[in-house]
């Protein structure tokens, strides 16, 4: 059974104005990371053709947050001093 081909561009109804549709575009994404500003040009987003509402692509945001998160480091735990060591004179 053949399935119909998907349209070349996906469109979704705008959740804000309900009149326009969200279409895929690439925008510059800005975010703060501590005291630093992170700028990502060409970031995938969905933009309403009527009101300009923007939703950044959730999958791309997940990848970006993964890249920006600090690495999981296994730190050596310091053992507390034993009580016997403090009793020595």
More confident residue, 42 or 86: 42
- pLDDT score for 71: 72
Residue count of the chain: 89
Architecture of domain 7-67: Roll (3.10)
For the chain, which residues make up each domain, given as ranges? 7-67
> What's the confidence (pLDDT) of residue 20?
96
For 44-85, the DSSP string reads EEEEETTT--EEE-HHHHHHHHHHHSPP---PPPPPPPPHHH
Structure confidence by residue, pLDDT tens digits, 2-56: 544 434 467 889 999 999 999 999 999 999 888 999 999 999 999 999 999 999 9
Cα–Cα distance, 22 to 72 (Å, whole number)? 36
User: The whole model's pTM is what?
Assistant: 0.64
Once rounded to an integer, what is the mean pLDDT over residues 74-81?
57
Q: Reply yes or no on whether the pLDDT at 73 is more than 50.
A: yes
């Amino acid at each position: 059974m053949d399935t119909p081909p998907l349209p070349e561009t996906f469109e979704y109804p705008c959740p804000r104005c309900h009149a326009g549709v969200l279409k895929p575009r690439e925008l510059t994404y800005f975010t703060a990371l501590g005291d630093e500003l992170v700028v990502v040009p060409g970031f995938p987003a969905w933009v309403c053709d009527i009101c300009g509402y923007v939703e950044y692509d959730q999958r791309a945001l997940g990848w970006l947050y993964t890249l920006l998160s600090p690495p999981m480091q296994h730190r050596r735990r310091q053992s507390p001093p034993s009580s016997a060591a403090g009793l020595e004179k």
